[in-house]
Amino acid sequence: MTPVTGVLFDMDGLFRIWENTGATQSEELAHLPAGTIAHYAYDHPAYRAARVGILTDTAWADDVTQRLAHDYHQPLNDMREALIPWRQDRGTPVPAMIKLLIEVRRHVPAGVLSNCTDALDRDLEHHSITFDYDCSSARLGVDKPSPHAYRLAAERMGIPATSLAYFDDEPTFVRGAEAAGLQAQLFTGAADVASHLRRLGIPVPGE
């Protein structure tokens, strides 16, 4: 097995959990059925455009707001006001993984490869999460599970794909990483990540 000289992580589900409390609050304020915001925000081509950097996060959110106001016959400013909790909700950080990341960075570079908008940098700062490399899909211009996303992330980190360990909680994305040559592992928890990294020769502490 090729020695690992860097680690690449997914973001959501590992370092941040979404409980969607903001969206729920906004739906109540705007008198929208439960799940409406998720449908309008993430099940629309505009989100894919934002995810690969064609639209900014702000432009995408404005598009969501305008479509909701139009379809639910509400004044645009009222809808914009109601959606503030949704926009302000940046998820809940996972302390165990943030602590592990600090330990990983003592030994090898660590990057994040996330399918997300250009809001990732602000979100990382908000949660005090520091990676050596931000390889968000919006920055790369391509999203997972395309093998190109993983290869571009490896290039950005200056590490051969075969020398990168990768962790993701989505099996399809793990397979995409494997297709690109990374040493990919399905995420099941911080303790398992630490154990796997030790097997790869990165001396992070155990529980």
DSSP state of 166: E
121-149, pLDDT tens digit by residue?
Answer: 999 999 999 999 999 999 999 999 999 99
Give the largest CA-CA distance in the chain: 60
- Six token digits for residue 69: 């106001």
Task: Quote the pLDDT of residue 167.
Answer: 98
> In which band, very low, low, confident or very high, does the pLDDT at 1 lie, cut at 50, 70 and 90?
confident
Asked whether the beta carbons of 104 and 196 are under 8 A apart, the reply is: no
Q: What is the DSSP string of 44-68?
A: SHHHHHHHTTSS-HHHHHHHHHHHH
- End-to-end alpha carbon distance in the chain: 26
* CA neighbor of 85 nearest in space, from 32, 34, 125, 27: 27
pTM above 0.85, yes or no: yes
149-198, pLDDT tens digit by residue?
Answer: 999 999 999 999 999 999 999 999 999 999 999 999 999 999 999 999 99
